[in-house]
Structure 1
Amino acid sequence: MTGTPEKHAENWDLRHADFNDNDFLYDVYSVMRGNGPFARTDKPFLPSNPEGAWVAVGYAECVQILQDWEHFSSNPTPEGAERLTGDLVITLDPPRQQKFRKVLNPYFSPARMKALRPEIGTETDRLIDEFIEDGAGDLAEVAWRQPGIVFFKFLLGMPVDDVPLCVELTDTALNGATEQDRMTAWGGLYRHLHDAVTARLDQPPRDDMIDVLLAAEIDGEKLAFGDVVSNAMLLVQAGLETTASAMSFAYHYLATNPAERDRLIAEPDLLPRAVEEFIRFAGSIHGIPRTVAKDVEVSGCQFAPGESMIVNYASANRDEQQFPDADRCILDRRENRHLGFGAGVHRCLGSNLARLEFQVGLERVLTRMPDFILAPDRQAKFHGNSVTRGFRSVPVVFTASERSR
């Protein structure tokens, strides 16, 4: 470590190398909350806020900001907007944002997700089959591949063979070592999606999200082609990295806490609550930007139009005022209104899918390798900062079993 939690809290640098640690960053957040509900950073969160930003770190303040789109806009500053490609649903405010989401909402309905459960189980079993007979494997492979396969195959309508490339590009775009690396990866992902969407123009329509975006009309006008590509890219990013990172943590936690693993096996009805707790305790997305649109006061602090605000989900989810024993992972936690999926009009569109992928991913591993533990002769590999966090390798050993087919 090159700095103490107190030093980091003075000027939070979301990509600092010290945060490549599974616990230290939360110590920094604790100090930030102790100093007040808002912190300040002069480090850019996105190209849209090069001058730095305020950081909301308290739960109540984060919820208030996320629910108040009239004062805290999802639109970046005019300077930042020039660097974005397309009209992204995540950067829109109502009423256009609501009209845009209305186009996509049916594809993430609870009923549609429930119908996908058998397919998600089958795809998860196929990944487990790759190592189940060996008595050893890497559960990070399941965590990082399952969400992409499910999303590409059953919702987006893109080839499953594209998943590894899109995972790599998304990961570099979010976590690359330099701004140039990150922008190059975003460009590569955009070009890949541009080519995929272009190819669909001459094909018969299918019942998937790319065709939904191509056919969508908002206020009587079709989406510009660039908007279709940009929103497909956004859906890819959201559908790959976030669920994978959180699931990788859950696998590592259970592999290193066999009593908790055994409890989930003995009490399968506990699984939905455990998934919510894993998302609260170790959710991969740590913050989302907002731009102050009007003069506003929150918890005695004044903010002026044009100022940037980062809503720090992860800090809010460790706020003791909302979550008793917030720094403990309590699998049967009952009161758990976490912000892992955000709040307000921009609450995560794919939360139903993410929950289902997560639940099935844990269920199949617990069922098929109930005695898995972390491999004693191999090291788990964690990578993270204040953008996304997760395990890139979770090597485990277990009693070998037969393939599912």
Structure 2
Amino acid sequence: MESAEPGGPITDDWIEHHFDHLAPEFARDFHPTLARVRARCPVARSDRHGGFWVAGRYADVLDIAQDWRTFSSELGITVPHVPSASSMKIFPVTIDPPLQRTFKRLVNAHFTPAKIAPWEEPTRALVNRLIDGFIERGECDFMDDFARPFPGLAFFDLALHAPAEDLEEVNGYATKASLPQAADRMESLRALAGWIGEFVERRRAEGPRGDVVDAVLGAGIEGRPITHAEAVGTVQLLVMGGLDTTAGVLGAAMLRFCEHPEIPALLRDRPDLVPAAVEELLRLDGSFVCIGRTARHDARIGGHRIGAGEQVLIYWASANRDEAEFANPDAFDLDRPSNRHVAFGAGPHRCVGSNLARMNLRVALDALVRRLDGVALRPGADIGFHSTFNRAPLSVPITFAPGKRTER
């Protein structure tokens, strides 16, 4: 049996032997392809990009993510010959316990529910300000006008306490840097790193503010102070980890609302269901879709021998629709009795910003379903996705009933 031609239909041979997470045909047919992976070969060996394994079942993904002694982040989180956004060591993602746990505790303390609770009202004000920017037009590109600018503007302001005059500019750098297909992505990454470097130096010279930036700057790494480069890389990770991921969930949610208008109608009538809707949207359309791990020693997963030094791509997005874990897994079900999704990852490297992401999504969805009535995709819209380790719509052009700006 022949493998798929580039851009052509995906064959069984492609799934079993030539899986390529960067292939455009995979981005186009994402969830159906992962369903075929689970059905045909839950653990498969691909010959692409120097060779790597793919794991798609919930149980296998969870086992690999939790077994950091066998499957290391420090030895590599991307598949061979596929460049990552930065070669800089960034904490805590590219280190393993016990050092990883020490560093993560410093960061986690600044993203607890209690810590982010005071951010809810300013977040709601930002959401309404962004909606005000397009609500009178009755149309917008949801990704450009809301989903992409929102999480960065909130994070730079509320979490990092960036200067107000820098917010629009630095969020522009970060937004472009998070788009794999953007022509000026690398230039934006360099500009973002440059801004963070200056910001870190400025914060070192200022008095402490008790925020996550202070925690990073005061961190000790194996008995020594964190270096400037490590601090810059870590702040950059905190920024990038929550932008495209939150934007992707919002974009996918809007696509789902357009296809199933009964969902926003229900949430408008029952705002108490918004938190449950957030969890189901994260399970179905979580944008943090996969990550790599490198085997420290020989191991077995799903009956297959993984050799020392080999890499395994674990698919959160596949685990979240595994029929063995979730009944009727492709359905949006607010009455689901158990929703142990892994949209934020699992194990020691589970996302530190999960509480913040949930709050942002809850506040955003509550305002969107209340203020945008009759949302529909613009006729003729061609919806594409970028799909690497994160997955997000490239564009979501929508129409809706023109509304009023909030009172000022």
Using the size of structure 2 for normalisation, the TM-score is 0.88
1:19 corresponding residue in structure 2:
26
Q: Is the 8 A contact 1:6 1:28 kept in 2?
A: no
2:381 corresponding residue in structure 1:
379
2:147 corresponding residue in structure 1:
143
Offset, 1:75: 1.1
Listed as ranges, the matches of 1:89-238 within 5 Å are 89-140=92-143, 141-158=145-162, 159-161=166-168, 162-172=170-180, 175=181, 186-238=189-241
3-state SS of paired residue (2:293)? strand
Check 1:378–1:165 CA distance in 2 against 1; reply closer, same or farther (3 A cut): farther
Offset, 1:329: 2.6
Supply the distance in 2 between the matched residues of 1:147 and 1:206 (Cα, whole angstroms).
22
Q: Is the 8 A contact 2:15 2:37 kept in 1?
A: yes
User: For residue 3 of structure 1, what is the amino acid of its counterpart?
Assistant: P
Find out whether 1:37 has 2:42 as its counterpart. yes
2:61 corresponding residue in structure 1:
62
Q: Is the 8 A contact 1:132 1:403 kept in 2?
A: no
3-state SS of paired residue (2:148)? helix
Supply the distance in 2 between the matched residues of 1:317 and 1:30 (Cα, whole angstroms).
11
Check 1:200–1:77 CA distance in 2 against 1; reply closer, same or farther (3 A cut): same
Q: Is the 8 A contact 2:173 2:188 kept in 1?
A: no
Q: Is the 8 A contact 2:10 2:25 kept in 1?
A: no
3-state SS of paired residue (2:149)? helix
Check 1:105–1:379 CA distance in 2 against 1; reply closer, same or farther (3 A cut): same
User: For residue 23 of structure 2, what is the amino acid of its counterpart?
Assistant: H
Offset, 1:42: 2.8
3-state SS of paired residue (2:59)? helix
1:74 corresponding residue in structure 2:
73
1:53 corresponding residue in structure 2:
52
Residue of structure 1 aligned with 2:10, choices 4, 8, 11: 4
Find out whether 1:347 has 2:355 as its counterpart. no
3-state SS of paired residue (1:107)? coil
Greater shift, 191-200 or 337-346, is seen at 191-200
Q: Is the 8 A contact 1:167 1:240 kept in 2?
A: yes
User: For residue 177 of structure 2, what is the amino acid of its counterpart?
Assistant: L
Check 1:94–1:247 CA distance in 2 against 1; reply closer, same or farther (3 A cut): same
User: For residue 195 of structure 1, what is the amino acid of its counterpart?
Assistant: E
Q: Is the 8 A contact 1:133 1:403 kept in 2?
A: no
Offset, 1:238: 0.4
Find out whether 1:306 has 2:309 as its counterpart. yes
3-state SS of paired residue (2:384)? strand
Offset, 1:87: 4.4
3-state SS of paired residue (2:106)? helix
Unpaired runs of 5+ residues, structure 1, are: 45-50
Q: Is the 8 A contact 1:152 1:160 kept in 2?
A: yes
Q: Is the 8 A contact 2:173 2:189 kept in 1?
A: no
Residue of structure 2 aligned with 1:286, choices 285, 289, 302: 289
For this pair of structures, how many residues does the alignment match? 391
Offset, 1:136: 3.0
Offset, 1:399: 4.1
Q: Is the 8 A contact 1:89 1:231 kept in 2?
A: yes
User: For residue 61 of structure 2, what is the amino acid of its counterpart?
Assistant: C
Supply the distance in 1 between the matched residues of 2:76 and 2:149 (Cα, whole angstroms).
35
Offset, 1:387: 2.6
Residue of structure 1 aligned with 2:256, choices 234, 238, 253: 253
Check 1:183–1:166 CA distance in 2 against 1; reply closer, same or farther (3 A cut): closer
3-state SS of paired residue (2:309)? coil
Greater shift, 181-190 or 263-272, is seen at 181-190
Offset, 1:314: 1.0
1:267 corresponding residue in structure 2:
270
User: For residue 41 of structure 1, what is the amino acid of its counterpart?
Assistant: S
3-state SS of paired residue (2:205)? coil
3-state SS of paired residue (1:69)? coil
1:389 corresponding residue in structure 2:
391
Q: Is the 8 A contact 2:90 2:237 kept in 1?
A: no
3-state SS of paired residue (2:294)? strand
Supply the distance in 2 between the matched residues of 1:402 and 1:85 (Cα, whole angstroms).
44
* RMSD (Å) for aligned C-alpha atoms: 2.5
Check 1:139–1:94 CA distance in 2 against 1; reply closer, same or farther (3 A cut): same
User: For residue 71 of structure 2, what is the amino acid of its counterpart?
Assistant: F
1:47 corresponding residue in structure 2:
none
Q: Is the 8 A contact 2:326 2:339 kept in 1?
A: yes
Supply the distance in 1 between the matched residues of 2:405 and 2:178 (Cα, whole angstroms).
34
Offset, 1:6: 2.4
Offset, 1:375: 4.7
Unpaired runs of 5+ residues, structure 2, are: 1-6
